């Protein structure tokens, strides 16, 4: 970067070290998906709105930035917030479709990030299943009379379907549509109505 370009770059707003680290990590995530481990510190600095020197005042090296970005990407809080924001009063099949969309986006992103980084070992992050099950219980509360299985099992089925359908080689072969998957899941968990039972008999 030239001296003139450096002079034109606005000074980054002063932030505490941990906030600066978090901001840089968040800005690095889309770069990892696009470039993998080949992402440069210049690209990271530009995306973060800071000078390259600032990166190394809060991180020891590029690998540390990548590790922080992966950790930020795997943070479940934004994903949980997205599920929690779904309106429980929506029709059951639409809710399942919206949940599936969020799960598939989540898994696709994870597959993309790790594929782009190769086989470098990352510390596992244990999910707190009780938290997401609680979200499902609130989301499906208006539909309990229709369900043949409890919300915790619904969560397990949806996660399994989303995970497998987001795997690149499976998704490419089957061209799975989220609305179609939602229809399949719902008709596996919903009780038959009286009219449906009569029709089937």
Q: How far apart are the C-alpha atoms of 45 and 53, rounded to whole Å?
A: 9
Q: How far apart are the C-alpha atoms of 103 and 109, rounded to whole Å?
A: 10
Do 142 and 88 form a contact (C-beta atoms < 8 A)? yes
One pLDDT digit (tens) per residue for the chain, 201 residues? 444 444 455 555 667 888 999 999 999 988 988 888 889 999 999 999 999 999 999 999 999 999 899 888 888 888 999 999 999 999 999 999 999 999 998 888 888 788 777 755 555 555 678 999 999 999 999 999 999 999 999 999 999 999 988 887 665 566 678 898 899 889 876 766 655 544 444
Ranges of CATH 1.10.357.10 domains, the chain? 3-73
- Mind listing the pLDDT tens digit for each residue in 154-195? 999 999 999 988 887 665 566 678 898 899 889 876 766 655
CATH number of 76-200: 1.10.357
- Quick one: tokens of 64? 């540390």
CATH topology assigned to domain 3-73:
Tetracycline Repressor; domain 2 (1.10.357)
Q: How far apart are the C-alpha atoms of 150 and 144, rounded to whole Å?
A: 8
Q: How far apart are the C-alpha atoms of 86 and 94, rounded to whole Å?
A: 10
Q: What's the whole-model pTM score?
A: 0.72
């Amino acid at each position: 970067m030239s001296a003139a370009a450096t002079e034109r770059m606005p000074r980054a707003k002063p932030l505490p070290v941990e906030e600066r680290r978090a901001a840089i990590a968040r800005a690095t995530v889309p770069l990892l998906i696009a470039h993998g481990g080949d992402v440069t510190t210049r690209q990271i600095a530009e995306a973060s709105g800071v000078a390259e020197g600032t990166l190394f005042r809060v991180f020891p090296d590029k690998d540390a930035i990548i590790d922080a970005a992966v950790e930020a990407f795997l943070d479940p809080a934004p994903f949980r917030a997205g599920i929690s924001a779904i309106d429980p009063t929506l029709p059951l099949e639409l809710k399942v479709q919206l949940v599936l969309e969020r799960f598939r986006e989540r898994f696709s992103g994870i597959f993309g990030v790790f594929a782009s980084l190769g086989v470098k070992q990352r510390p596992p992050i244990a999910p707190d299943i009780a938290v997401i099950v609680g979200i499902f219980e609130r989301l499906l509360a208006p539909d309990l009379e229709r369900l043949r299985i409890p919300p915790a099992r619904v969560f397990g089925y949806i996660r399994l379907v989303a995970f497998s359908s987001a795997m690149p080689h499976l998704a490419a072969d089957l061209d799975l549509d989220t609305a179609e998957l939602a229809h399949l899941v719902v008709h596996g968990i919903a009780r038959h109505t009286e009219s449906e039972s009569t029709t089937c008999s």
